Amino acid sequence: MYRVTWGLQYVNLFMINCGFIILAGSALKCHETATLYSHGGSSSGLVFAFNTGMLPEIQATVKQPVVKNMMKALYLQFTAGALPLYVVTFIGYWAYGSSTSTYLMNNVTGPLWVKALANISAFLQSVISLHTFSQVQLMSLWIQNMEPKELSPLTLKNLLFRTLARGSYIAVSTLLSALLPFLGDFMSLTGAISTFPLTFILANHMYLVAMNSELSAVQKLWHWLNVCFFGLMSLAAAIAAVRLISVDSKNFHVFADV
């Protein structure tokens, strides 16, 4: 189970990074298109870009007590931090319906300079988040290949190794993102077989095993309901993702601009 969990986590992080690359590419493409619409008299738009809860979690570990600070960061992220996500989701659906683009910038209108600023912000946020999520794999690879006395990040050997490793990782992620025009379908499948189990199923089951003797019957029932419900959701999402892949693969074109 350790190896299964490890594999699912790394696959999940890799697909997240591919998603950030696609988002960054969409921001650049939309900015270029908007600049050409400016010469042709067309309108432009606005976008909201959000970062993840990982940053406040990392910052919380800077000083003691680490656990208490971490919990404060998580409480903030899942209350005030989540509010803008829901606001944009519901207002966007109310304004544009289910046919809206996954990249909101393609739908709304506004001043060109605002759209340019929003696209640049989305691009920078994607690049920064990409490096944040890829750090887990790269740090593991770095530590496994470096001697303890060589762990200083400023030595020439380490600088070269980290540059090569990070550059190769981003190059492979970018190639895969551009190669498959329906990579989003694979990301849906990844979410079904890794994000759901890791976030909802594994966490509840681990809590049940660790706290079994201290939980009441009602608490145990609640956690088992979570395990079963999200297990069914994971199965349904996986079936839907496989169907999407099957349908979209019939019109497959390598490096398609869609």
CB atoms within 10 A of CB 190: 21
pLDDT at 135: 74
Interior angle at CA 28, CA 248 and CA 257, nearest 5: 25
pLDDT score of 40 more than 60: no
Interior angle at CA 170, CA 166 and CA 174, nearest 5: 175
pLDDT score of 107 more than 60: yes
CB atoms within 10 A of CB 205: 17
Average pLDDT rounded to a whole number, residues 78-86: 76
Percent of the chain at pLDDT exceeding 90: 9
What are the tens digits of pLDDT across the range 117-158? 877 877 787 777 777 777 777 777 776 666 655 566 677 777
Rounded to an integer, what distance in angstroms lies between the CA atom of residue 146 and that of residue 246?
43
More confident of the two residues 210 and 100? 210
156-179 and 112-145 helices cross at what angle (nearest 10)?
A: 130
Average pLDDT rounded to a whole number, residues 46-50: 40
Mean pLDDT check: name the lowest of 111-115, 146-150, 160-164, 191-195.
146-150
pLDDT at 257: 60
pLDDT score of 243 more than 80: yes
pLDDT at 246: 84
44 bridge partner residues: 110
Q: Is 164 exposed, middle or buried (0-12, 13-18, 19+ CB in 10 A)?
A: exposed
Q: Which residues lie below 8 Å from residue 116, measured CB to CB, with a gap of 6+?
A: 31, 34, 35, 44
- Residue 138 tokens read as 């790269």
Q: Model pTM? A: 0.62
Spell out a b/e string for 61-94, using b for 16 or more CB atoms within 10 Å of the CB, else e: eeeeeeeebbeebeeebeeebeeeeeeeeeebee
- Residue 211 tokens read as 């706290």
Please count the residues of the chain: 258
Name the phi and psi angles at 110, rounded to 5.
165, -175
Cα distances (angstroms) measured from residue 131 to each of 13, 141, 152, 169, 250: 11, 15, 19, 10, 34
Average pLDDT rounded to a whole number, residues 12-34: 73
Rounded to an integer, what distance in angstroms lies between the CA atom of residue 191 and that of residue 37?
36
Rounded to an integer, what distance in angstroms lies between the CA atom of residue 129 and that of residue 16?
9
Which one, of 100, 168, 177, lies nearest residue 138 by Cα? Answer: 168
pLDDT score of 162 more than 80: no
More confident of the two residues 104 and 80? 80
